[in-house]
Amino acid sequence: MPLTYPRMGVSFEQRFPRPSVMGVVNVTPDSFADGGINLDPDKAVVTARRMVEEGAAIVDIGGESTRPGASAVGVDEELRRVAPVLEQLERVPVSIDTSKAEVARRALELGAELVNDVTALRGDPALAEVVAESGAYLCLMHMQGEPRTMQTDPRYDDVVSEVAAFLEERLAFAVEAGIDEERVCLDPGIGFGKTVEHNFELIRRLDELVALGRPILIGISRKSSLGKLLGNPEATTGSVAASVGAAVAAYERGATILRVHDVREHVEALTAAQAALA
């Protein structure tokens, strides 16, 4: 029987105190950092359990890569990838990284407690109702364009105010659809239609997103901006050390939850940062 999570009454802030770590497990052949490594369901389960032992508050299971240039995956294939993993993770706190209502519904039945939607409820018109009815936690993320083309020529007049306005509008949409505002977190979507400069400006001015009043999730772990920052213009990934540095900075600027591939390193660094900053 799936573990029943306290779906009513517990706010996002109570469930995920600052700083919390979300471990990334991609059950995909093509994800930019861990593609293929966790495609075998048994391997994905071992990785997810290890991440929780290392201190992750939740593990984000994804069956579709959204890396720049990735092509979309159908519902059946996405379910075929993630369902066998979720079935074996009954006692593990799980988030489902999907934009599809049908995938989210099945994942919630299998015990997932959070829906992580990189389209911020713009991808599948049926998803808002699934989240509202289940009482699940929800992450709304900003993306300019769509994964296939988003890194071609991202442009903003002011990236931070545009991302803030977008997240505010999507939060209002979610609340209008019956989703409890207290259960929602917001994410500027590092690397989703953004240059290196855009990404770091979003972290530098994170206080302007914190001012929206909801917890902020940051996913910069191993992203190419970190490799580019360190001098390789062709980088498709970044190092663990650079990821940890950026995560600690984001935490210091107000982020609540850090979405990462290397859980132990981030938990250790954030524990020390918290002690130093408290």
Return the number of the residue (113 or 187) whose C-beta is nearest ligand HH2. Answer: 187
Give the shortest CB-118-to-ligand HH2 separation in angstroms: 5
User: Counting contacts by CB under 6 A, is residue 127 touching ligand HH2?
Assistant: no
In 3D space, the residue among 217, 209, 208 whose CA is nearest the CA of residue 184 turns out to be: 217
- For ligand HH2, the binding residue among 62, 63, 111, 238 (CB under 6 A) is 62
**Catalytic residue positions?**
223, 259
**Count of CB atoms situated within 10 Å of the CB of 121:** 20
Instruction: List the interface residues with ligand HH2, window 79-118 (CB under 6 A).
Output: 97, 116, 118
Place of tokens 């935490």: 251
Supply φ then ψ for residue 5, to 5 degrees: -85, 155
Shortest Cβ distance from residue 86 to ligand HH2 (Å)?
16
CB burial readout 230-243, b (16+ within 10 A) else e: eeeeebebbebebb
Distance CA 51, CA 24 (A): 9
- State yes or no: residue 139 binds ligand HH2 (CB under 6 A): yes
> Whose Cβ is closer to ligand HH2: residue 20's or residue 28's?
28
Is the CB of 78 or the CB of 97 nearer to ligand HH2? Answer: 97
DSSP string, 221-274: TT-HHHHHHTT-TT-S---HHHHHHHHHHHHHTT--EEEES-HHHHHHHHHHHH
By CB under 6 A, the count of residues binding ligand HH2 is 21
User: Is residue 75 classed as helix, strand or coil in its secondary structure?
Assistant: helix
Q: Is the peptide bond before 233 cis (omega within 30 degrees of 0)?
A: no
Site string for ligand HH2, 12-51 (x = CB under 6 A): ------------x-x-x--xxx------------------
Chain residues 199-238 in contact with ligand HH2, contact rule CB under 6 A: 217, 219
Positions that interact with ligand HH2 (CB under 6 A): 24, 26, 28, 31-33, 62, 65-67, 97, 116, 118, 139, 141, 187, 189-190, 217, 219, 259
